Amino acid sequence: MKTEDVIIINNNEIASEIWEMEFLAPKISSNYKGAGQFIQIQLDPGWGNPLRRPMSIASCRDSKISIIYKIFGQGTKILSQKISGDVLNVLGPLGNSFQYKKNNLNILVGGGVGLAPIINLWKELDELRDNSYLIIGAKTKNEHIHSHNPDEHIYLTTDDGSMGLPGTVMEALKVVYENVKSSEVFACGPEPMLKQIQSFVIKNNIPAQLSVESYMGCGVGICQGCIISRRNYKNKNHSYHKKYSLVCVDGPIYSAGDVIFD
Ligand SMILES: Cc1cc2nc3c(=O)[nH]c(=O)nc-3n(C[C@H](O)[C@H](O)[C@H](O)COP(=O)(O)OP(=O)(O)OC[C@H]3O[C@@H](n4cnc5c(N)ncnc54)[C@H](O)[C@@H]3O)c2cc1C
């Protein structure tokens, strides 16, 4: 893990309120382990915004890193105003990465801002010529950056039915799973979505890895702001860390059976 002053190469709106930023980060790139890892971005060097903002790595190649982010509040608004040549202080790479077997028929599911690590994993698997399935959910068509193309194994969903399959990612997951009986599911998105995927995979006995995007302050295990309950907790004389997990240092990726969304 390193801090680095990274130089922004470009920062563009790629869909409604969804931005992609690419920057030069040779030090952080050299420690990158794979899709699922994230970085913590300092918005400005003063005390205006003391907490860094966590963002998943959407790609890492040739010393360049990209992120895909949605304007959510003040911090992401500030990020969207940065231009090519601006410098940001970034901490990373942080967290664990998705672990997959080659030649598996995987189903990748991304919802909302959970898109970034899933797109990264999709590209990683594509390079291995893995024939995976991609499911991306959004509220409406303007928030999508892909085209619905089941022939290419890309399934989009929209809550309002304006593109792809109407409904949530669960509708597409059921359709795809019924057809392929996939060997593993990988998902990232808002907690209600992860909760539904968790119930589905446990009920159908499908191995799955879920990337949890909880609020976090420091990103390095000090502030304890990002705890999640561990499942199958048996030992009553527990240590705090056996009962709870810190998403920033133990995660953000967990086996679906290991955590409880309260
Ligand atoms: C591992 C991880 C990866 C992520 N990847 C992406 C991504 O790829 N793309 C994307 O768009 N978003 C991603 N997010 C979410 C993103 O970090 C938030 O959307 C972003 O921090 C919002 O910042 P804001 O200033 O715009 O929002 P605001 O709501 O204005 O501010 C959020 C700030 O308040 C703090 N905060 C608010 N409530 C709490 C609370 N209950 N406990 C502790 N702190 C709190 C946050 O830590 C943060 O500093 C990720 C989050 C995590 C944890």
Q: Does the C-beta of 224 come closer than 6 Å to ligand 1? A: no
Ligand 1 lined by 76 (C-beta under 6 Å): yes
Ligand 1: does its nearest atom lie under 6 Å from the Cβ of 54? yes
CB of 110 within 6 A of ligand 1: the answer is: no
Report the CATH architecture of 2-94: Beta Barrel (2.40)
pLDDT for 107 equals 95
CA atoms within 13 A on the CB side of 74: 8
Residue 43 banded pLDDT, cuts 50, 70, 90: very high
Residue 165 near residue 155, CB atoms below 8 Å: yes
Read off the pLDDT of residues 137-154 as tens digits, 9 standing for 90 and up.
Answer: 999 999 999 999 999 999
Ligand 1 atom with the smallest distance to the CA of 75 is 25
Q: Comparing 2-94 with 98-204, is the CATH topology the same?
A: no
Is the pLDDT at 83 greater than 80, yes or no? yes
Task: Show me where the domains of the chain are located.
Answer: 2-94, 98-204, 214-262
CA atoms lying within 13 Å on the CB side of residue 106: 26
Tell me, what DSSP letter sits at residue 221?
A: S
Please state, for a pLDDT cut of 70, what percent of the chain lies above it: 97
Class of domain 98-204: alpha beta
Q: For the segment 214-237, what is each residue's pLDDT rounded down to a tens digit?
A: 889 999 999 999 999 988 666 566
Output the pLDDT for position 234. Answer: 63
Q: Quick check: 152 and 73 in contact, CB under 8 A? A: no
